[in-house]
Each structure stands twice: as C-alpha cells, then as structure tokens.
Structure 1
Amino acid sequence: MDIKELSIHNQDTIKKALQVLDKTGLGVIFIQDVDGKLVGLLTDGDIRRALIGDAQLNSPVELAMNRNFTSLPVETENKVILDNLTSKVKIIPLTDANGILVDYASINRLRRISVASPVLNGNELLYITDCVKTNWISSQGKYVRAFENSFEKYHGGRKSLAVSNGTVALHLALDALGITKGDEVLVADFTFAASVNAIIYTGATPVLVDIEKDTWNIDVKKIEQYITPNTRAIMPVHIYGHPCNMDAIVEIAKRHNLLIIEDCAEALGSLYAGKPVGTYCDAATYSFFGNKTITTGEGGMVVFKDERVAERAAVLRDHGMEKNRRYWHTEVGYNYRLTNLQAAVGVGQFERLDEFVVAKRVNADTYSKAFADVPYFQLPIERDDSFNSFWMYTLLVNESAPFTRDDLIHHLNLKGIETRPVFFPIHQMPPYVNFGKPEELTVSKWVSAHGLSLPSSVNLTTTELMYICQTINSFVADFKAVV
C-alpha cells in the first residue's frame, strides 16, 4: 500500500480520517501539514476520545491527532527500528531529512519493500507444531535427519551434517579435513567475512585472491601465483548465486594436491555444468540465515565427499564425543548442532526450493530486461556453463554514471525500497590487512565501491517489481535529461 493512501492533512476532517481508517485497515493514519511534514498520528482510539470531548465529525483531525509519537529517519538500520518497536509503539513512521513521511515500520514489516524476506507459508508451522507436540525440540529428532537426507539426495548421496549456522559449517569442514596452523587456504577477497574467519579459527592463514570482473568470483587465472608449499586448500565462494569456474579450480587442485571447500552459502539451487554446486569438492557448506534462499532462521549444512571425514565431523560437531560411548570424548569438539525445531523449518523450506529458485530467476530476468539499455550499469551475468540461482540481484554503477552508487541507494530508500551495498574487500578491514596485497586486489576494491543489491525476495509481486524498475529508470532518466 502506498504511503499516500495512509496519509491525510491536518485540516482534513475527522470524518475523512474515519473513512481512510476503514479503507486501509492499518489501524493508524499519518497526519501531514501543508508542506508534507509529518505532524501527528491518528488511531480509532484518538478519534473516540476526541468525540467524547468537544470534537465533531467535521472538526479538523489536528484536534484529535497524537502529537507525541515516535518517528525515525528513513536511513535508520533495521536493528534500531526493531529496538524501538514495543507493545506500545507498534508503528513507527520513517521520514526524510526534512521531516517528510517516506515509509513506516511495524512488527510485521520494516520497509515497504525489503531487500530480502523469508516466505514461511508452506509446511513449516505444521512441522514445528509436530516437534512441540512430541517434545522433540532439541538436536535429536526426525527433522534433523530428514533435513540432512534431503541434502544427501540433492548432492548425489554425499553425507550431510546439519549445523547451527553457516560460519560453523565452514569451520567444521576445515577442521574435519585437517586444516590447521601453518596451512594456507586461498579465498576470494570479495566475500562475507565468515569465509575468512572460519579459516582463521583453525589457525591456518587465509590468502586473499582478486576476483573476476564479470562474475565477481575468485579469479582462477590468478590462483596459481599464490600457491606455496604451505597451501592446503582452495575455498571458492559462489558469490550471489553465480557458480565459480569449478572445472578450472578442480584441475588446479588436482595438479597441486589441494583440498577444495566450496562456500555455497549464497548458491543453493545453482548449477555448474548441470550439477549442483557443492559436488565438485571435498566439502561444501551452506547457510540458512533469514535472508538465504531457504532459511531456518540460523542454521547451516556441511556436505562431505569422504564418509570417513564426515564421521569425524559428526564427532566434532557433538563436543568430540564418541557416538557409541556417551560422555567419552576423543577430541576437543564443539557444540555445532542444529535443533529439531530449526530443522523442521528447513524441511518445509527445502520442499519449495525449486519454486523459490524460479522466483529468484524471475526477479533477475525482470530486472535485467528493465535495465538492459541503461549504459551506467554493469548487470550480473550467467555464463553458459552455469545456472545462476540469483540469490541476490546485484549490479554495479559504473564510473561513467552522473550519479554514484550511494546516490541511487539513498533515492531508493526515500521511495520505500530497501537496498544493500555489497561487501567490503576483506583486505581493507583491520583484522585482515596482513592477508592480501592491496595493489593485487584492485577488482574487488572496485566492485565493492560500486555494487548494490536490489530487493530479491521470492514473494516480490509483479507490481512491486515494476515499481522498483520504474523508480530506478526514472532516476536515471532525470540525470540523462540534465546531462
């Protein structure tokens, strides 16, 4: 619903306010002055109290409106918005720097169009209810096994272990494969920090490699120049859903006797040469954070090529305790288990994986067609050997553009469209400055400065997609007219 439909002016009548409240059903309307600035909120209760007093139906709403309300700048982070939403403050208007109403947040929606939101209207509640009714809510239970079995089947029978999040999935994979202090692991400079953190957890050293200009994945042509006698593994990260060049990576790994750990956190549903990502390696990991293609809230999965390594990982996942000898610990392990409740959500989500991937690709196709003639954008690609699940539709604003990436993000925010800047290069952040040479990581730096992700939820409506595309194209057209 457009914010204009939820707003009236302070000189409009209480009768009109009642009509708007009845039509919208939100329970609150926003009151603006003649300049469009937000000056009050109005609910049914406010009107009731006013009418009990001296107000009439034809009285101006400013006599009834609540002037003591909570509002926040539209740029406010979601976490801060959530902190301000309470049992008393259920709706928060979001305004621009001039106090003009732009959007609103509630417990049910933080933005008019969010960059990513889960869809949980399948069997998730049914399966969670089953967990509660049967008391199987911890890490034991049929849904953990069912979730793991779904991934095993999807990956051609490879042993799969459900874990508590995607970061520990990476750590568990590395540890189970024997990556340790003194080892080096090659990884892209352009990724979420979890990829690198997991390497550091083992005591090994991450070695940062620049990325390709079109896929934004690790540049396979540069990998071999970083291989040393200490190199033990390569960690390809399938960024935003586009598969890495796995043929080249596998060939390099074989020639140098290296392990491969695929970080598939953003690429469930993606294919390389007709096979799922995660099947070209010694171990693959997935994340089920709330913004991923399927979610368990928090959660992860590790898929292993070697069953013996998987067995060791299962022991490490459960405190290093022997399976057949309770409370006997053979190694220093971790509590990396996933609960049956979370797995129940995962099973319901996995049942709809194909549907979700189709929706992601529809989003991507709509965006790419809408922006095909915009000379200022570099759009995401799909190579002939790949099937891109387009977890997050991400584009770059070229240097030739008469506006910056941040200009576009700000404009879309003012229009109720949430976006995200892309990752910072790993080598630029304080904990990782010793793991890469800035002069060799120029592409990741450029992509980071120019990239943004557009709304990519699987439940985006055609109307919302068209609104986003039209808003962006109108923004670009305004600059063209000036130029």
Structure 2
Amino acid sequence: MERSYLLDAFDSGWISSRGEYIGHSEKILASVAGTPYAAVCSNGTTALHLALLAIGIAPGDEVIIPSLTYIATLNALYYVGATPIIVDVLDDTWCIDPTAVESVITARTKAIIAVDLYGQPADYTALAQVAKQHGLRLIADAAESIAGSLHGVPTGALADVSVFSFFGNKVITSGEGGAVTTASPDIDRLVRQLRNQGNHPTQRYVHDMIGYNYRMTNLSAAILTAQLERIDGLVSERRRVVDTYTSLIGGSNAFRLQEVSPGAVPTPWMISVRITGLDSARRDEVIQRLGEVGIESRPVFPLIQTMPFVPKEHRRSTPVAELISQEGISLPTFPQLSDDTIQMIVDALHRTLAQI
C-alpha cells in the first residue's frame, strides 16, 4: 500500500506539510501508542527537541539521561541549553538504571529521559515513581520501541511524553520522520504550534512564539500511514528474526543477550549481543572479518560522554554501560532474513570468534 498511498498523495497536489495523510497517520499512531494525542514531525531528533520545549526545559535545567544511547538523545538537550546528567544503565536490559537516576537528582533537575534501547522498554514503573516523588517530568525516547509495551501499557503511553523515529532503518518508516505522543492536550498543542514555525493555531502568519520548521510532509505521512496499517505483520517478522537468533546463540557462553525485563514486550529494532570478554579492538576485528564475508554488523553505540564536543564537566564514569559498549555487536535484523540466512550468520560469527 505504500506505493499506492504515496502516488495518491502526489496526485492530490498536497505534497508538503498539509494533506489528508498527516491526519490519517496521527490517528493510527495515537491508537498504536495508546494515547489520545499524536503529532508527527520531520524526524525523531526534532520530536525529542519538541518534547523538551513543550514541557518547558530551559537553559541551565538538568535532565538525566543514560550514557548508552544514540547521540540524538544528547544533542536535543544541547539544543535547548539544558545540562545533561549522564548515568549508568542496567546490566541486564541495558536501559537507564532508576537507582542511578535517583542518586543524581538536585534542585536543578527537571526531567528524566528514558531510552528504550534497541526496542527494550525501560523500567518506567520505577522511573515514574522517582519522577513523581521529586516532581520531575518523564520523557520516553521510544524511537526504537514502537508497538512494544510494559505491563500491558504501550511504549507511547508510559511517560508524560514519548517520542518515536521513523527513519529508514526503523521497524516502521516514512523514510525520515518522527512523532510525539502524550495524554496532555497542553503538550500536544505546544508541539503542534512549535513544529509549525510557532504559528498561532487560528491566525495565519501570526507567530506568538519562536517556532521551528519540523513538519512532516504529506508524502512521508502517506508512507507512514501504510506502514502503520500493517504494523502487526512488520513487528511480527522482526520478532521472528530475533527469536531465531536467540534460539541459536542464547545457550552459548560466548554471548550475552540483552534481557527482557519482567512484564515487558519489546519491539526488537536490532538484535544486539555482547561477546563476553572482548575488548573494543577485538570486537571491531570481529565486525571487520564478518564484513569480509559479506555480513554487515556494527558496534553497539559508544558512550555519549566520549564524544569530542561534550564538555569535561558533563562527562561521567558509567562502568556498566562502558562494558556493554565495549563487548556489544549488532547483527543484521531486517525482516526479510530467512532462518537459513540467520543460521549462516551465526555460524560465521562462531568461526570468526574461533579465529581470533
């Protein structure tokens, strides 16, 4: 249906940020996310920027984030002038450690960003308790976990505000795209105004706040609508791929899988495993050798505080995340992978480890 909807949007003449597929995609997404409000935008990073602005994060505010995440989580904080307080992750799920979060809260702390790393929902039960106790906002960076859940609650409804990414390699894609979901009409109203150059909701060319051009095009929304309409099948195929990997390598002492937390139903974006005992240099050698036989793999995200532009005062020691990042490797996870191909990849991985 993607091609059909895309051509329909093109033929309608509404190819930019107005058109019926914008509303169609938002309606379906709200249902998937379990929230009354969903606003699409240009990508996942702009979604996070909009969420931070909509909840009032301002220069000097402290926001707690995990060290093991994609750089966009950190970049969005710098966009608004906030101070990132980087903490460690849990050894089993690789998601932000609620105990570590509570240990760094100060009078300047305003929010927590949890990241559903590789599609594994963070411990929102514990995080929500911490946030409530200290009067903080809770943001879910659910860029990788659409259609996942925790204790029956969809990932889009586990925090005050949640953000998604629809980049080309995500489970659901619009080529480029993102979204903000929330149960708050005030947050939704602000997100919609901010994404549209701060334009007044009813008075055209009246801009009563600084805004941004973060709108999704109707063409992208047409693709997104088709993807969302068949989300069950797309997620099911990803889960089949990950389940097959798990059955083949789960019993090996050479590997540690990212664990599923109690009550969680992940949406596996990418199968990532730890090769136990390897340093980053040898892990990178594994990646290189797999590439030489036609198997693309990649390292687990490096720690965000190691990036050259991060000020010294924002760098923290996060030993659990450091070990996961050092040992971690992500393997091919696209839904068209056959079981035989997955077996071939796992066999090549074992041969490579034996060689080094």
TM-score band w.r.t. shorter chain: over 0.9
What's the counterpart of residue 40 of structure 2?
162
CA separation in 2, counterparts of 1:477 and 1:370?
17
CA separation in 1, counterparts of 2:298 and 2:64?
27
Larger Rg over CA atoms: 1
The reply to whether residue 126 of structure 1 matches residue 18 of structure 2 is no
What's the counterpart of residue 303 of structure 1?
181
The reply to whether residue 443 of structure 1 matches residue 320 of structure 2 is yes
CA-based RMSD: 1.5
Deviation at 1:445, TM superposition (A): 1.5
Greater relative CO, 1 or 2 (CA 8 Å, sep 6+): 2
1:232 to 88, 92, 110: 110
Deviation at 1:388, TM superposition (A): 1.5
Deviation at 1:239, TM superposition (A): 0.2
Deviation at 1:282, TM superposition (A): 1.3
Whichever residue aligns with residue 218 of structure 1, its letter is I
Bigger shift: residues 452-461 or 152-161: 152-161
Deviation at 1:152, TM superposition (A): 1.3
SS of 2:110 mapped into structure 1? strand
Deviation at 1:477, TM superposition (A): 5.0
CA separation in 1, counterparts of 2:143 and 2:183?
18
1:470 to 344, 347, 350: 347
Q: Paired residues, what number?
A: 355
What's the counterpart of residue 71 of structure 1?
none
Q: Deviations along 1:399-427, whole A, 9 cap, x unmatched?
A: 169x9312321221111110011111011
The answer as to whether partners of 2:278 and 2:326 remain within 8 angstroms in 1 is: no
Could you state the TM-score of these two structures normalised by the residue count of structure 1?
0.71
CA separation in 1, counterparts of 2:35 and 2:263?
23
Q: Which runs of 5+ in 1 are unaligned?
A: 1-122
What's the counterpart of residue 126 of structure 2?
248
The reply to whether residue 461 of structure 1 matches residue 343 of structure 2 is no
CA separation in 1, counterparts of 2:250 and 2:88?
27
Deviation at 1:435, TM superposition (A): 5.2
Counterparts of 1:273-312 in structure 2, within 5 Å, are: 273-312=151-190
SS of 2:261 mapped into structure 1? coil
Whichever residue aligns with residue 213 of structure 1, its letter is D
Whichever residue aligns with residue 250 of structure 1, its letter is A
1:171 to 31, 49, 53: 49
1:186 to 35, 52, 64: 64
2:77 to 199, 207, 217: 199
SS of 1:431 mapped into structure 2? coil
What's the counterpart of residue 405 of structure 1?
283
CA separation in 1, counterparts of 2:31 and 2:272?
30
What's the counterpart of residue 219 of structure 2?
341
SS of 1:254 mapped into structure 2? helix
Bigger shift: residues 145-154 or 369-378: 369-378
Whichever residue aligns with residue 126 of structure 2, its letter is A
The answer as to whether partners of 2:244 and 2:339 remain within 8 angstroms in 1 is: no
Q: Which runs of 5+ in 2 are unaligned?
A: none
The reply to whether residue 390 of structure 1 matches residue 268 of structure 2 is yes
Q: Deviations along 1:332-362, whole A, 9 cap, x unmatched?
A: 1001000000000001111121112111111
CA separation in 2, counterparts of 1:230 and 1:323?
32
Whichever residue aligns with residue 43 of structure 2, its letter is N
The answer as to whether partners of 2:170 and 2:269 remain within 8 angstroms in 1 is: yes
The answer as to whether partners of 1:376 and 1:400 remain within 8 angstroms in 2 is: no
Whichever residue aligns with residue 177 of structure 1, its letter is I
- With over 3 angstroms needed to count, the CA separation of the structure-2 counterparts of 1:436 and 1:214, relative to structure 1, is farther
